[in-house]
């Protein structure tokens, strides 16, 4: 699981200072502008700042999508264009922010975490949403394909998204960001089931290492998605008129999704802890089985060892008729063997009757 890339400002840096990243540090960014109304959709790829300023002030609904993070110079010019607060610019460029909602005069600034699956590994990307009463701006550090289902709904005529206002678009983006956690959690659930089956079949120290890795992933995932419930709850208590009454029920459903996600994360954390206990129990049980078998073998051989020890004593039979008379019997050797086999058989029967075997 890749952690957030944090570019902290040096101590003592004034608030709102934009961090200038190197070419190696700056990811490639793409800019897409989507203008739509109930009757038409227009899309612009890589528009310049002048074109962005003209389109954001249009009467239609505008959604500016920026994939990746731009450099400090572009961010400063863009911030001047839409009157973006310097602290918001700093938060976007520095990254690694906790999910939050902050009002700034005529804008809302939201930070959300989106977990994504990439070749079996989980990466938590960040979505920054700037909500103005006339437009939305999103900065996203993950894959552009994440928003493709939402874009298909915008491009298709007659959808609810096309007929609703800007607040419904904001809800749809937040709903997509939250629901991205479900396939990730489903993958983790399948992995937990597989680990449980392997632990039951053959507990191995390597599996214990995987269980610890799973617990660490769940802790990091919980840290990433837990605050998003508070963000949606804070938005539901909106008193500034950002949400229309028809959109609030949809956002309440989005809040329910955050609760379900947290329930799943907590249940998976409990399951991973149970797997750790299951591993220790299985190892202890296997050790008990091994010790029981060894104890039975050792117990059976104790009387047999005593018998062969007795007949291994070198007393002279010619000195006294009581010195081991069995050594003079024609079938003495076979008699000793028969006695030892009989003792071993009786002990096995006794152990089975006591259910020790």
d(CA 158, CA 152) in angstroms, rounded, equals 12
d(CA 298, CA 27) in angstroms, rounded, equals 68
Say if domain 30-282 classifies as CATH 2.60.40.10.
no
Domain boundaries, the chain: 30-282, 311-353
Q: pLDDT (tens digit, 0 to 9) for every residue of the chain, 357 residues total?
A: 444 444 445 544 555 444 445 444 445 578 999 998 888 888 999 888 888 888 887 677 899 999 988 888 889 999 999 999 999 999 998 888 899 999 988 899 999 999 988 777 888 899 999 999 889 999 998 888 899 999 999 998 888 888 888 999 999 999 999 999 999 999 999 988 988 888 877 777 778 888 888 888 898 889 988 999 999 999 998 778 888 899 999 999 999 999 999 999 999 988 888 888 888 887 787 788 888 888 888 888 898 898 888 888 878 777 887 888 887 788 888 888 898 899 989 988 888 887 777
Q: Angle CA(276)–CA(280)–CA(285) in degrees, nearest 5?
A: 145
Please classify residue 206 by burial: count the beta carbons closer than 10 Å to its beta carbon, then call 0-12 exposed, 13-18 middle and 19+ buried. Answer: exposed
Residue 135 has, within 13 A of its CA and on its CB side, a CA count of 19
pTM: 0.76
d(CA 274, CA 271) in angstroms, rounded, equals 5
């Amino acid at each position: 699981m890749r952690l957030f890339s944090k570019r902290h400002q040096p101590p003592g840096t004034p608030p709102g200072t934009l961090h200038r990243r190197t070419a190696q540090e700056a990811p490639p960014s793409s800019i897409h502008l989507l203008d739509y109304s109930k009757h038409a959709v227009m899309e612009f790829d890589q528009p310049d700042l002048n074109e962005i300023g003209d389109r954001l002030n249009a009467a239609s609904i505008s959604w500016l999508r920026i994939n990746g993070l731009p450099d400090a110079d572009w961010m400063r010019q863009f911030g001047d264009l839409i009157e973006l607060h310097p602290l918001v610019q700093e938060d976007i460029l520095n990254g690694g922010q906790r999910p939050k909602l902050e009002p700034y005069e005529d804008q809302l600034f939201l930070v959300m975490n989106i977990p994504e699956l990439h070749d079996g590994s989980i990466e938590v990307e960040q979505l920054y949403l700037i909500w103005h009463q006339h437009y939305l701006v999103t900065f996203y550090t993950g894959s552009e394909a994440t928003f493709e289902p939402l874009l298909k709904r915008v491009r298709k005529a007659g959808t609810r998204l096309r007929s609703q206002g800007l607040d419904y678009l904001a809800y749809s983006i937040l709903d997509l960001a939250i629901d991205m956690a479900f396939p990730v959690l489903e993958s983790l659930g399948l992995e937990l089931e597989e680990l449980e089956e392997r632990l039951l079949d053959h507990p191995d120290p390597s599996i214990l290492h995987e269980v610890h890795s799973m617990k660490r992933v769940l802790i990091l995932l919980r840290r990433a998605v837990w605050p998003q419930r508070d963000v949606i709850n804070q938005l539901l208590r909106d008193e500034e008129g950002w949400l229309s009454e028809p959109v609030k029920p949809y956002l309440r459903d989005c809040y329910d999704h955050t609760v379900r996600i947290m329930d799943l994360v907590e249940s998976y954390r409990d399951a991973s802890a149970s797997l750790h206990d299951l591993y220790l129990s299985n190892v202890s049980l296997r050790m008990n089985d091994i010790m029981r078998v060894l104890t039975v073998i050792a117990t059976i051989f104790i009387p047999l060892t005593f018998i062969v020890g007795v007949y291994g004593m070198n007393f002279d039979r010619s000195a006294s008729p009581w010195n081991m008379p069995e050594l003079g019997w024609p079938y003495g050797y076979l008699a000793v063997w028969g006695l030892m086999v009989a003792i071993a058989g009786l002990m096995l029967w006794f152990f089975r009757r006591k259910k020790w075997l």
